[in-house]
C-alpha cells in the first residue's frame, strides 16, 4: 500500500481555507480601491486558488462530473482555472515590480493573451479527445497515450511550468531590490512555492514520459506530485497573508510597546491632571489608546510649564553625566527631575517657601517644555532610574 496523503478532503481543505482567508483579508481593500491593479490581481489569484483546491478532492471531482453530465469535465474545469491562476501570478508580479507604464500594460496584455490561448487550447483538445472513462486520481497518466487528451494534459503542465519558471526569475530579481522586511518574507515564501511547483511539474512529466516508453511510473503523478502542489498553495497563501497582515501586526505591536513605555510618565502626570476617559468600544484601537496617553502627558506638561526650568534641567543633565550615566539616560533623568520638582512646586501652598523658585534658576515657560521626541527617554528614566531621580531631585531643591 502506497503512502497516500492526497486522497481525502482534509488534505485539500487546508490550502483552500488558507487561500480563502487571504482572499477575505483582501476584500475590504479591494472594495475601497477597485481600480488598484495589484489588489485586483491578488484577489483573482487567491480566489481562483481557493476554488481550485476546493474542487480537487476526488469526491468533489466526481460531483462536478455528475453535475455537468460529462465524464472528466472536472479536469477541464480545474485545469482551466489553473491556467488563469498562472496568468494571475505573472500579472501580479509584473504589477508589483514595475511602475505604471506602457511597457507594463503591454506585458500584462501579452500574459493574458498567452493564457487565453492556453485556455482555448484546453477546451479544444478536451472536446476533440476521447475521455469517456472517469479517472479521479490518475487522469494525467491514464490518458497520456490518448490522442488530443495527451495534448490536453501537456498543455496545462507546460503552462504551469513556464509560469513557475518566469515567476521565480522575476521574484529573484525583485528580491534583491526590496528593503521592506515583510515584503521580503512574502517574496521568499512565493519563491519557495514556485520551486515546489516545479517539482510538481517534473514529477508529472516524468510519469507521462515513462508511460510513453512503456514503464509504469504512475505513482509519481498520483502520489508524489500532489503533496507538492498542496504545500505550494499553502506557501502562496502564507505569502499573501504575511504581506498584508504582517505590516499591520508590526505597526500594532509598535503602538502597544510605545503605549507601555510611556506608562511611568503617564502615571506621574496623573498627579497633575485628572485622567482622561478610557478608550472603549469599536474605536479603542492601539493607535487611539496611544494618542490618548500622549495627550494626557502633554496636558500634564502644559500645566507644569510655568514651573519647568531649562537651567535646572541642564544642571541636572551635567550632574547625571558626571555621575557616569550615558548621555541619553542623563537627559531622561534630568527631565524627570525637572518634572518632579515642577509637580512639587505646583502642589505647594501659595505662600509656602517651596512655591518660590530659586533665584539662580527662575522658571522659563515654553523653552523648558519636554519635547515629544524626549518622552520615551523620560518614561524610561521614571521606570528604571527612580532612585537616581530622587537623589538628584533632592540636589535640585537643596
What HEC string does the chain produce?
Answer: CCCCCCCCHHHHHHHHHHHHHHHHHHHHHHHHCCCCHHHHHHHHHHHHHHHHHHHCCHHHHHHHHHHHCCCCHHHHHHHHHHHHHHHHHHHHHHHHHCCCCHHHHHHHHHHHHHHHHHHHHHHHHHHHCCCCCCCCCCHHHHCCCCCCHHHHHHHHHHHHHHHHHHHHHHHHHHHCCCCCHHHHHHHHHHHHHHHHHHHHHHHHHHHHHHHHCCCCCHHHHHHHHHHHHHHHHHHHHHHHHHHHHHHHHHHHHHHHHHHHHCHHHHHHHCCCCCCCCCCCHHHCCHHHHHHHHHHHHHHHHHHHHHHCCHHHHHHHHHHHHHCCCCHHHHHHHHHHHHHHHHHHHHHCCCCCHHHCCCCCCCCCCCCCCCCHHHHHHHHHHHHHCHHHHHHHHHHHHC
- The CA distance from 248 to 250, in Å, is 5
Torsion of CA 291, 295, 296, 300, to 10 degrees: 150
CA 95, 96, 98, 104: dihedral to nearest 10 degrees?
-10
Q: Are residues 64 and 199 in the same domain?
A: yes
Evaluate whether residue 161 is within a structural domain. yes
Distance CA 6, CA 137 (A): 9
**For the segment 35-79, what is each residue's pLDDT rounded down to a tens digit?**
888 788 888 888 998 999 899 889 999 999 999 999 999 999 999
Whether 254 shows a pLDDT value over 80: the answer reads: yes
pLDDT at 232 over 70: yes
Angle, vertex CA 11, rays to CA 6 and CA 17, nearest 5: 145
- Judgement on whether residues 272 and 189 belong to the same structural domain of the protein: no
**pLDDT, mean of residues 209-217:** 93
* pLDDT level of residue 350 (50, 70, 90 thresholds): low
Do 341 and 235 fall within a single domain?
no
Q: Is residue 218 situated within a structural domain?
A: yes
- Of all residues in the chain, the percent with pLDDT exceeding 70 is 89
- Asked whether residue 208 falls in the same domain as residue 347, the answer is no
- For residues 42 and 19, give the distance between their C-alpha atoms in angstroms, rounded to a whole number: 11
Number of domains making up the chain: 2
Co-location of 207 and 278 in the same domain:
no
Domain stops at, among 190, 218, 252? 252
Residues 153 and 293 in one domain: no
Give, in order, the Cα–Cα distances in Å from 101 to each of 21, 39, 69, 98, 187: 32, 17, 46, 8, 23
290 shares its domain with 373: yes
Residues 6 or more apart whose CB falls under 8 angstroms from that of 254 comprise none
pTM of the model: 0.70
CB 272 within 8 A of CB 300: yes
pLDDT band at 351 (very low <50, low <70, confident <90, very high): low
Q: Is 262 within the bounds of a domain?
A: no
Does the pLDDT at position 364 exceed 80?
A: no
Say whether both 14 and 113 belong to one domain.
Answer: yes
**Interior angle at CA 150, CA 147 and CA 156, nearest 5:** 145
The count of residues in the chain is: 398
Residues 363 and 235 placed together within one structural domain of the fold:
no
Share of the chain above pLDDT 90, in %: 35
Based on the fold, state whether residues 244 and 311 are members of the same structural domain: no
pLDDT digits (tens, 9 = 90+) for 169-192: 888 888 888 778 888 888 899 899
262/381 Cα distance (integer angstroms): 10
The grid cell for 90 is 505573472
Least confident of 71-85, 150-164, 245-259: 245-259
Last residue of one domain, picked from the residues 252, 283, 303: 252
367 band by pLDDT with thresholds 50, 70 and 90: very low
Mean pLDDT score, 291-303: 88
| Backbone dihedral region for residue 318 (phi beyond 0: left; psi -120 to 50: alpha; all else: beta) | alpha
53 and 188 together in one domain: yes
Given a cut of 80, whether residue 346 has pLDDT beyond it is yes
Q: Are residues 33 and 155 in the same domain?
A: yes
Determine the Cα–Cα distance for residues 313 and 368; give it in Å rounded to an integer.
8
Residue-range definition of the domain harbouring residue 168: 9-252
Split at pLDDT 50, 70, 90, the class of 278 is low
258 assigned to some structural domain: no
Amino acid at each position: 500500500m502506497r503512502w497516500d496523503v492526497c486522497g481525502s478532503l482534509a488534505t485539500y481543505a487546508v490550502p483552500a481555507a488558507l487561500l480563502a482567508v487571504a482572499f477575505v483579508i483582501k476584500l475590504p481593500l479591494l472594495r475601497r480601491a477597485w481600480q488598484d491593479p495589484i489588489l485586483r490581481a491578488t484577489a483573482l489569484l487567491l480566489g481562483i486558488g481557493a476554488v481550485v483546491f476546493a474542487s480537487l478532492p476526488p469526491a468533489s471531482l466526481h460531483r462536478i462530473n455528475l453535475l455537468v453530465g460529462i465524464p472528466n469535465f472536472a479536469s477541464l474545469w480545474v485545469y482551466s482555472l489553473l491556467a488563469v491562476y498562472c496568468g494571475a501570478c505573472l500579472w501580479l508580479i509584473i504589477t508589483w515590480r514595475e511602475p505604471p507604464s506602457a511597457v507594463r500594460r503591454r506585458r500584462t496584455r501579452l500574459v493574458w493573451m498567452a493564457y487565453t490561448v492556453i485556455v482555448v487550447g484546453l477546451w479544444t483538445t478536451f472536446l476533440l479527445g476521447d475521455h469517456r472513462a472517469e479517472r479521479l486520481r490518475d487522469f494525467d497518466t491514464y490518458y497520456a497515450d490518448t490522442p488530443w487528451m495527451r495534448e490536453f494534459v501537456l498543455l496545462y503542465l507546460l503552462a504551469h511550468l513556464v509560469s513557475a519558471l518566469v515567476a521565480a526569475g522575476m521574484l529573484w530579481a525583485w528580491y534583491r531590490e526590496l528593503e521592506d522586511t515583510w515584503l521580503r518574507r512574502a517574496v521568499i515564501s512565493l519563491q519557495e512555492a514556485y520551486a515546489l511547483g516545479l517539482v510538481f511539474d517534473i514529477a508529472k512529466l516524468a510519469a507521462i514520459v515513462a508511460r510513453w516508453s512503456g514503464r509504469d511510473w504512475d505513482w509519481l503523478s498520483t502520489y508524489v506530485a500532489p503533496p507538492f502542489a498542496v504545500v505550494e498553495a499553502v506557501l502562496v497563501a502564507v505569502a499573501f497573508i504575511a504581506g498584508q497582515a504582517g505590516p499591520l501586526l508590526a505597526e500594532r505591536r509598535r503602538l502597544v510597546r510605545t503605549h507601555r513605555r510611556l506608562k511611568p510618565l503617564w502615571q506621574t502626570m496623573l498627579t497633575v491632571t485628572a485622567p482622561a476617559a478610557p478608550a472603549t468600544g469599536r474605536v479603542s484601537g492601539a493607535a487611539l489608546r496611544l494618542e490618548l496617553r500622549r495627550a494626557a502627558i502633554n496636558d500634564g506638561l502644559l500645566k507644569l510649564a510655568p514651573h519647568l526650568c531649562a537651567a535646572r534641567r541642564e544642571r541636572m543633565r551635567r550632574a547625571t553625566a558626571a555621575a557616569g550615566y550615558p548621555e541619553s539616560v542623563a537627559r531622561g533623568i534630568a527631565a524627570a527631575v525637572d518634572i518632579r520638582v515642577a509637580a512639587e512646586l505646583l502642589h505647594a501652598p501659595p505662600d509656602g517657601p517651596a512655591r518660590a523658585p530659586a533665584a539662580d534658576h527662575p522658571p522659563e515657560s515654553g523653552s523648558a517644555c519636554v519635547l515629544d521626541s524626549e518622552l520615551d527617554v523620560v518614561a524610561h528614566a521614571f521606570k528604571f532610574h527612580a532612585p537616581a531621580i530622587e537623589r538628584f531631585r533632592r540636589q535640585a531643591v537643596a
